[in-house]
Amino acid sequence: MSEVTFKVFRYDPAKDGGKHYQTYKVPLRRGMTVLQGLLYIKERLDPTLAIRFSCRMATCGSCGMMINGLPRLACYTLIEDLKKQTVVVEPLRNYPVIRDLVADFSEFFEKHRWVKPYLIRIDTYTQEKSNTSYLQSDEELERYVQFAYCIKCGLCYAACPVVASDKEFLGPQALAQLYRYLADSRDEGTAERLKSVADGHKLLRCHFAGSCSKVCPKGVDPALAIQLLRREVLLRA
């Protein structure tokens, strides 16, 4: 059986706090994912390695990391597809590191919450107490549904060059979710949503690098959402 080398970023603030890389040899099986390689290391070679994962099927969004320099889901990345002898794994960029490959998502989720990722309704009493439905046509659903596939994995946030230099910028995930609710025919918060991003750095700092959409594992295309959102702001805010 052939082997693959994993070069893994290590950092434990509770110990010496020093950042370094550690290498491990892992027996390679056909169809093996990067996550399976890391679990082999954790179970057989080094139980101190910290990783975050859950579903193992590109659904929960928790196993994002830099893999050979690009933000990817470890459970969705086949080692053979990397076409490299060495797999280099590091924590996601643009996030503080908690330990080893585990990034701190506090700021990311704070920005997600800031855009109010839920339907804003004037009839809140009816919305909560009534069993009536807010019906939509197929066309109305089409306007936002692709943005609703976001699994909050944060890969787009790690890929964004503006996030790296401007912490006030909300980032591709939060902005795509803002647009997802703005474009929803059931939402009544249009004026409030547009006003919230009309000034300053929150939206307008985006310079359309497009790297967010390139790395998204769910085809959400946050760069498109940001362009559509900017158009609404410029036309209506």
Residue 89, Cβ neighbours under 10 Å: how many?
Answer: 25
Q: Of the listed pieces 55-63, 101-109, 157-165, 182-190, which binds ligand FES according to CB under 6 A?
A: 55-63
191 contributes a contact to ligand FES by CB under 6 A = no
Q: Of the listed pieces 52-60, 88-96, 125-133, 178-186, which binds ligand FES according to CB under 6 A?
A: 52-60
- Choosing from 72, 99, 202, 218, the residue that interacts with ligand SF4 (CB under 6 A) is 218
145 contributes a contact to ligand FES by CB under 6 A = no
- Choosing from 12, 53, 70, 166, the residue that interacts with ligand FES (CB under 6 A) is 53
Q: Of the listed pieces 19-27, 95-103, 199-207, 217-225, which binds ligand SF4 according to CB under 6 A?
A: 217-225
Q: How many residues bind ligand FES (CB under 6 A)?
A: 12
Quickly list DSSP for the chain: --EEEEEEEE--TTTT---EEEEEEEE--TT-BHHHHHHHIIIII-TT-----S-SSSSS---EEEETTEEEEGGG-BHHHH--SEEEEEPPTTS-EEETTEE--HHHHHHHHHT--S---S-HHHHHH--------HHHHHTTGGGGG-----HHHHH-HHHHH-TTS--HHHHHHHHHHHT-TT---HHHHHHHHSSTTTTTT-----HHHHH-TT---HHHHHHHHHHHHHHH-
- Choosing from 75, 97, 155, 197, the residue that interacts with ligand FES (CB under 6 A) is 75
Quickly list DSSP for 71-128: EEEGGG-BHHHH--SEEEEEPPTTS-EEETTEE--HHHHHHHHHT--S---S-HHHHH
36 contributes a contact to ligand FES by CB under 6 A = no
- From the list ligand FES, ligand SF4, none, partner contacted by residue 154 (C-beta under 5 to 8 A by kind): ligand SF4
Residue closer to ligand SF4 by CB (options 41, 156) is: 156
- Choosing from 152, 180, 193, 202, the residue that interacts with ligand SF4 (CB under 6 A) is 152
Residue closer to ligand SF4 by CB (options 41, 154) is: 154
- Choosing from 120, 156, 160, 229, the residue that interacts with ligand SF4 (CB under 6 A) is 156
Q: How far is the CB of 231 from ligand FES (least distance, A)?
A: 32
- From the list ligand SF4, ligand FES, none, partner contacted by residue 91 (C-beta under 5 to 8 A by kind): none
Computed over its alpha carbons, how large is the radius of gyration of the chain? Answer: 20
Q: Which positions touch ligand FES (CB under 6 A)?
A: 53-56, 58-63, 73, 75
